[in-house]
Structure 1
Amino acid sequence: MEQSSTLDIDTLKITQDKYTLGPQALHLQRVHPVGLYGWRKRCLYFLLLLLLVTMIVNLALTIWIIKVMNLSVGGMGNLQLTREGIRLEGFSEFLQPIYVKEIQSRRDSTLVLRSEKNVTVNARNSHGQLTGQLTVGPEAVEAQCQRLEVRSRDGGRLLFTADQDEVSIRTETFTVTGLEGVVFRHSVETPLIRATGSEELKLESPTRTLTMEAPRGVEVSAAGGSLTVSGRKDLQLQSTEGEVLLDAGTVRLGSLPLGVYAASPSRSSRTRAVYEVCVCPGGKLYLSPAQSSSTCQAMSSICLWS
């Protein structure tokens, strides 16, 4: 009787375990496996490998660019970023236009601008219109502006100005060292023309007329030497309202034509040592032998051919 009871209990446990494990077994049969297999797995690994190679190449190129360009926190190579602006050391080459407010060199060096053709500096207004231009070329230096000014070293004194109407030189002395002097094609206005102590002053017009005019008078003086006024043709001294004054210790009129006064044939052959100056009606001067009375003849041959 005891043996049969024990068997029944074991049978019940087995039966209970069977029914208990049954649903779990059914659940395990319904779960599908998760993962990449086959060509999908190979493509994923290839993409990861390609991404890794790209990152390594980019990192290597970045390091190479930093090394070649000499990039740092303060700037790039010769280009340094400061609080005052940009500082360049050594030679710099610009392939495109550069727009800056000020270009300044170091205190112990000069500023040099070099170009194979020319160097052009432009100034524009707020509307973009060109107001000034300076061009330094192989043949000439050109400045295009409304007014050109040259000042002294301290910037206070104006030395040279040029505009559309006039050119003004405001220095104390204007010196020309050329062998041919200065050539003026039109009129010149100046208060004083003076030569140095060791040089001669010469005003010459080889093919035209030399005219000197002044509202209050023209003064020509030579303090340390002689004064010579010569001309190929006529030399005129004219005063419309005043007089022509020859004031000197000795006044000489050289190379005047000599007229002959003949009262009689016998007296015409005599040599006279004293002469008088005669004036023709046309203003020509000539010498005539002096007598007790005037020997000037209005119908003299000299006056007729004047």
Structure 2
Amino acid sequence: ITQEQFILASQSLHLQRPGCDTVYPVGLYGWRKRCLYFFMLLLLVTMIVNLALTVWIIKVMNFSLDSLLVLRSEKNVTLNVRNDRGQLTGQLTVGPEDVEAQFQRLQVRSADGGRLLFAANEEEVTMTAEKFTVTGSEGAVFGHSVETPLIRARASEDLKLESLTRTLTMEAPRGVQVSADEGPLKVSGRKDLQLESTEGEILLDASTIQLGGLPLGVYAASPSPTSRDQDVYEVCVCPSGKMYLSPAESSSTCQSVSNICLWS
């Protein structure tokens, strides 16, 4: 090969050889890099503020795994219960002066959750505890009737049923029993005390029966109407049922002092 041919061949090969690729820089530069650093710094600040607020809320609300949950409010605290359709089925409101509960049925059970102690709904209130104690000085006040199988006082304490302005009525289809096993039984009233039996009898069964405070009729034919030596009297009954005492003589003196019946 001549020198000219070699030069031409070398030039042709040089022309066919591909050129070098363009080199591009890798990474973020300029405003993109500054924006990325800014957003990372903003995210870090947000996380720190969120963590600080969470710790502050836990501290203020006294949230703890080892103590009771305390909810505080300057007004009311309301707990709402809703069903799967979002309808309100129950509500508990604790206010500064009262506690209000709105439920279809309210139940209070024992510590183990087995025995029902108190239940209330729109129709009735049920108490199944062994004792119902009222410690107020005025006792228990009922606006209407009370139905119970037993009313008993504590040991060494008196049981008192009192109606200050109205009547006191005890009724039962098979009878009412009032008894005092270890002490006296006293029934008193400011006005009339009436014992009535429509289909039976009234039985006073005791070794001693005393009717104290009966009016004393004075026998006009007695030589000493105001004599205090009179030890024996007879019991007289007016047509109205009023009873009084009359000095006992050999015969009845009720007719002689029957003027007491005129005022009955």
| TM-score bin (small chain) | 0.7 to 0.9
Secondary structure in structure 2 of the residue aligned to 1:248 = coil
Q: Equivalents in 2 of 1:70, 1:236: separation in Å? A: 80
Q: What displacement does 1:177 show?
A: 1.0
> In the aligned structure 2, how far is the partner of 1:230 from the partner of 1:269?
30
User: 1:178 aligned to 2:136?
Assistant: yes
1:281–1:298: 8 Å Cα contact kept in structure 2? no
After TM superposition, the structure 1 = structure 2 runs for residues 217-228 of structure 1, keeping only pairs within 5 Å, are 217-228=175-186
Q: Pick from 254, 260, 264: which aligns with 1:302?
A: 260
2:203 equivalent in structure 1: 245
2:45 alignment counterpart: 64
Mapped to 1, the partners of 2:43 and 2:225 lie a distance apart of 120
Distance in 2, Cα, partners of 1:158 & 1:298: 69
Q: What number of residue pairs does the alignment pair up?
A: 237
Q: Verify: 1:206 aligned to 2:164, yes or no.
A: yes
Could you tell me how far apart the structure 2 residues matched to 1:194 and 1:105 are?
47
**Corresponding residue number in structure 2 for 1:41:** none
Amino acid at match of 2:236: C
| TM-score, normalisation: structure 1 | 0.70
- Larger RCO, structures 1/2 (Cα 8 Å, 6+ apart): 2
1:193 has 2:182 as partner: no
Q: Distance in 2 between matches of 1:185 and 1:265?
A: 55
Return the offset for 1:187: 0.8
2:120 is matched with: 162
State the SS of the aligned residue for 1:70. Answer: helix
Aligned partner of 1:259 in structure 2 is: 217
**Equivalent residues of 1:118, 1:137 under 8 A apart:** yes
* Per-residue CA distance 1:139-171 (angstroms, 9 max, x = gap): 111111111111111111111111111111111
Q: 1:136 maps to what in 2?
A: 94
Q: Which residue of 2 aligns with 1:97?
A: none
Counterpart secondary structure, 1:159: strand
Which of 117, 120, 126 is the aligned partner of 2:84?
Answer: 126
Name the structure 2 match of 1:291: 249
Give the SS at the match of 2:78.
strand
Query: One-letter code of the match for 2:49?
Result: V
Identity percentage of aligned residues: 63
Look up the SS of the partner of 1:300 in the other structure. helix
Question: Which protein has the larger Cα radius of gyration, Structure 1 or Structure 2?
Answer: 1
More deviation, 264-273/196-205: 264-273
Specify the SS of the correspondent of 2:81: strand
Q: Distance in 1 between matches of 2:192 and 2:253?
A: 27
Cα distance in 2 for partners of 1:90, 1:174 equals 42
Q: What's the CA shift for 1:179?
A: 1.2
**Other structure's SS at 1:160 match:** strand
What is the DSSP-based 3-state SS (H/G/I as helix, E as strand, rest coil) of the residue aligned with 1:117?
coil
The aligned residue for residue 53 of structure 1 is 34
CA distance in 1, matches of 2:246, 2:111: 67
Matched letter for residue 203 of structure 1: L
Alpha-carbon distance in 2 for matches of 1:298, 1:187: 48
Aligned pair partner of 1:279 in 225, 237, 245: 237
CA distance in 2, matches of 1:298, 1:192: 49
Q: Which residue of 2 aligns with 1:101?
A: none
Q: 2: CA distance between counterparts of 1:198 and 1:179?
A: 17
Encode CA deviations 1:2-24: one digit per residue, 9 max, x unaligned: xxxxxxxxxxx9xxxxxxxxxxx
Q: Residue type of the partner of 2:33?
A: L
Unaligned runs of 5+ in 2: 5-28
After TM superposition, list the pairs within 5 Å mapping 1:224-235 onto structure 2.
224-235=182-193
Conserved? CA contact 2:61–2:70, under 8 Å? no
**Residues 70 and 272 of structure 1: CA distance in aligned 2, closer, same or farther (over 3 Å):** closer
Over the aligned positions, Cα root-mean-square deviation in angstroms equals: 2.8
Task: Please report the TM-score for the alignment, with normalisation by the length of structure 2.
Answer: 0.80
Check the 8 A contact 1:124/1:130 in 2, yes or no: yes
> What does the per-residue CA deviation read over 1:204-252, in whole Å, with 9 as the maximum and x for residues that have no partner?
1111111111111111112222211111110001111111111112111
Instruction: Map Cα deviations across residues 251-277 of structure 1 (whole Å, 9 max, x no partner).
Output: 111110001223x36465655220011
